[in-house]
Amino acid sequence: MFMAGAAVLGYLINRGVGNFVVFAILLYLLNHFVLLRVIDSFQKNLWPRFQNWYARILEKAVKSPWWILGGVIVLFFVSIAFTIVSNLKVEQFPSGDPNFAYVYVTMPIGTDQNYTNEVIGKLEKRVAQVVEPDKDVVSSIISNVSVGVTDPTDEDQGTYYNKGKITVAFVEFAKRNGKDTKAILNRIRATVQGVPGAKISVAQENSGPPVQKDISLEITGDNLDTLVKTADRMKKFIDQQKIAGIEGLVPDVQNVKPEIVFDINRERANREGITTQQITGALFTSVYGYKASDFRNTKEDNYEIDVRAQEDQRYNIDLLRNMKITYRDLASGGAIRQVPISAFTDIRYTNTYANIKHKQSRRVLTLGSSVIKPNNPTEVNAAITNALRSFKFPDGVTYKMGGAQEDQIETATFLGTALMISFGLILIILMAQFNSVGKTLIILSEIFFSIIGVLLGLSAFHMTFSIVMTGVGIIALAGVVVRNGILLVEFTDMLMEETHNVHDAVVEAARTRMTPVLLTASAAIMGLIPLAVGFNIDFVGLFTNFKPHIYFGGDNVAFWGPLSWTMIFGLGFATIITLILVPCMYIIRLRIKDRFKKTPVVKEAELTPAV
């Protein structure tokens, strides 16, 4: 009656709640009439047999504890060797399928904004044609010219008339029906090439915090001309190496920015009583204008009034040269005179640097590029570094790998330091609890050896080692692994107080504590598997319309998958370490302790066979 009433009340609220209540009732009935019997049979028959089997295995292991410890140490080095041989890929942050595709277009400096807009319009049509077969997974195509056209990770977010950007936004992962947006991005990359005079790059969004370019070669020196020539030689040299994955190295310093220089003849200007400030002020006002006043029609709205020459006059160099400067000639009694700028200036056309960057008071030029997927940025950077060993640099010019590669090294260093600090804190807590160096080292060894499972798992399944997420997973793994070790060591100490037979105490403690150790590890592993494989289910749709919309993958699995698999592999192997190696190391500890005492602490009697 109670269950029926709960179901009716649930349906009165809404259909979804009612279905959920019915599901809970069915689950209860299944557990009461079926699962309880199965579980009872498992606990009374199968599980004791498994415990006895484990006890027999452990009895054989504790007879040769040094061999077990040595085997695990050898396995640790084997796992490192296997990781190296399997060429495990390393990246800072994991990246999944693109949610956005960015097409960055850079025209020569000085290009008119209208012409840049024409180029972007043509490229946008190309992009639209490429994504037409997959338009069901494309939500929008947006173009920008001059404003918002640089990489979000770039420090310079200014306005550039010669730059444009096309953004292709994809629908969320669940609505893509299995279509690969990486393939679409590669097709976009292939179709936008071939525009004369344009430098075009295609990239996806960053899956983690903003980072710099995948490839960033920072060339440092004092002479800017030497840096530009060296960068040009380096670019050609690297291109000749045919290293796969480099989209295109682009320097961040442009040395072909067109410039019109007005050379002032100071002697002629001084004869007229005109200063250089008057000349530059007149030119600046004509081209850029100056603030004359403000127009305010309400308390909130305030419009700035700027005065400058008309557009057809601003871009006509002859009109600018013939522009007259009005001044008071004190030599002729203060008469007002007008003299054209061309009377005391000469013009010349030249090129200059668009920008000059400094780092630690030295000039820096950076060659940057993205890495084309599925190539790994770490491997591409390693290939570039290896190739540049035979490149000759001029005196006073050096280079280093910066950008994302530098961030990756800093992140790895930080996480390594964090892991050592966590080791230290765990060491202090364990020393305070056990007041024993030996027991503390036994438990800490679990953390150390659990890395074997991580390395073997990632290498065997050809997964990518994420510096951040895998590193965080290893640090989180330490806390879970330590708990199981404490359970076993503490219970062994309790049995040792009752009997001095170390083998019986160790085997019985491990046999008894096997259940909570396995429960802890299996519960954690089972809880992490949905996150690791990206299992998604719509519970509202399931109970309301019986449409669960189950799918695997997505942005969550791309980001959290490396952390989950790290803990799954580590916990799985650490459980074996806890159940086999910890009892062996406990015996080793007591044997070493006996060697420094006249009377043995424990009596190693013959093992009592497990039943």
pLDDT in tens, 485-516: 888 888 888 888 877 678 888 888 888 888 88
pLDDT of 329 strictly over 50: yes
Prior bond to 516 cis, omega within 30? no
pLDDT of 609 strictly over 50: no
pLDDT for 607 equals 42
- Number of helical H runs and strand E runs in the chain: 20, 19
pLDDT of 95 strictly over 50: yes
User: Tell me, what amino acid is at 384?
Assistant: I
State the average pLDDT over residues 189-203: 85
Give just the sign of the alpha carbon dihedral 201, 205, 210, 214: negative
Q: How far apart are CA 163 and CA 149, in angstroms?
A: 6
More confident residue, 544 or 253: 544
User: Are 111 and 195 within 8 A, CB to CB?
Assistant: no
Neighbours of 545 (CB within 10 A): 13
User: Are 287 and 310 within 8 A, CB to CB?
Assistant: no
pLDDT of 52 strictly over 70: yes
- As given in the structure block, the two tokens for residue 611 are 């039943």
Which strand (E) or helix (H) includes residue 18? helix 15-30
State the average pLDDT over residues 512-536: 87
pLDDT for 48 equals 87
User: Tell me, what amino acid is at 162?
Assistant: N
- As given in the structure block, the two tokens for residue 596 are 């420094």
State the average pLDDT over residues 156-184: 83
Q: What is the DSSP letter of 610?
A: P
Whole-number percent of the chain with pLDDT over 70: 92
User: Are 317 and 287 within 8 A, CB to CB?
Assistant: no
pLDDT for 611 equals 38
SS3 readout for 98-127: CCEEEEEEECCCCCCHHHHHHHHHHHHHHH
User: Tell me, what amino acid is at 450?
Assistant: S
For the chain, the structural domain boundaries read: 2-86+414-595, 99-204, 257-352
Q: How far apart are CA 55 and CA 335, in angstroms?
A: 114
pLDDT of 184 strictly over 50: yes
State the average pLDDT over residues 11-23: 76
Pick the CATH number of 99-204 from 3.30.70.1430, 3.40.50.720, 2.60.40.10, 3.10.300.10: 3.30.70.1430
pLDDT for 153 equals 63
User: Are 363 and 356 within 8 A, CB to CB?
Assistant: yes
Fold held by 2-86+414-595: Multidrug efflux transporter AcrB transmembrane fold (1.20.1640)
pLDDT of 63 strictly over 80: yes
Most confident range (mean pLDDT) of 157-161, 220-224, 561-565 is 561-565
Q: How far apart are CA 336 and CA 343, in angstroms?
A: 17
pLDDT digits (tens, 9 = 90+) for 272-305: 778 888 888 888 888 888 888 887 766 667 778 8
pLDDT of 44 strictly over 70: yes
- As given in the structure block, the two tokens for residue 82 are 């296997």
Question: Among 201-210, 393-402, 503-512, whose mean pLDDT is lowest?
Answer: 201-210
pLDDT for 74 equals 94
pLDDT for 608 equals 44
SS3 readout for 506-546: HHHHHHHHHHHHHHHHHHHHHHHHHHHHCEECCHHHHHHHC
User: Are 201 and 368 within 8 A, CB to CB?
Assistant: no
Q: At what angle do helices 555-576 and 502-533 cross, to 10 degrees?
A: 170
pLDDT of 604 strictly over 60: no
pLDDT for 300 equals 67
CA-based nearest residue to 16, from 606, 546, 419: 546
The contacts of residue 479 (CB under 8 Å, 6+ apart) are: none
pLDDT of 215 strictly over 60: yes
Count of residues making up the chain: 611
Q: At what angle do helices 15-30 and 2-13 cross, to 10 degrees?
A: 150
Prior bond to 374 cis, omega within 30? yes
More confident residue, 354 or 58: 58
pLDDT for 73 equals 92
User: Are 572 and 521 within 8 A, CB to CB?
Assistant: yes
User: Are 325 and 341 within 8 A, CB to CB?
Assistant: yes
pLDDT for 606 equals 44
Strands 465-466 and 90-91: parallel
pLDDT of 605 strictly over 50: no
The overall average pLDDT reported for the chain is 82
The contacts of residue 611 (CB under 8 Å, 6+ apart) are: 52
- As given in the structure block, the two tokens for residue 489 are 């060591």
**Triad 467, 471, 472: Cα angle to 5°:** 125
pLDDT digits (tens, 9 = 90+) for 426-482: 888 888 888 888 888 888 888 888 889 999 999 888 888 888 888 888 888 887 888
Q: How far apart are CA 266 and CA 491, in angstroms?
A: 95
State the average pLDDT over residues 367-392: 84
The contacts of residue 113 (CB under 8 Å, 6+ apart) are: 145, 146, 161
More confident residue, 483 or 332: 483
- As given in the structure block, the two tokens for residue 119 are 């180029």
Q: How far apart are CA 409 and CA 420, in angstroms?
A: 17
* pLDDT range class, residue 610, cuts 50, 70, 90: very low
CATH architecture of 257-352: 2-Layer Sandwich (3.30)
Question: Among 363-367, 482-486, 606-610, whose mean pLDDT is lowest?
Answer: 606-610
Neighbours of 589 (CB within 10 A): 18
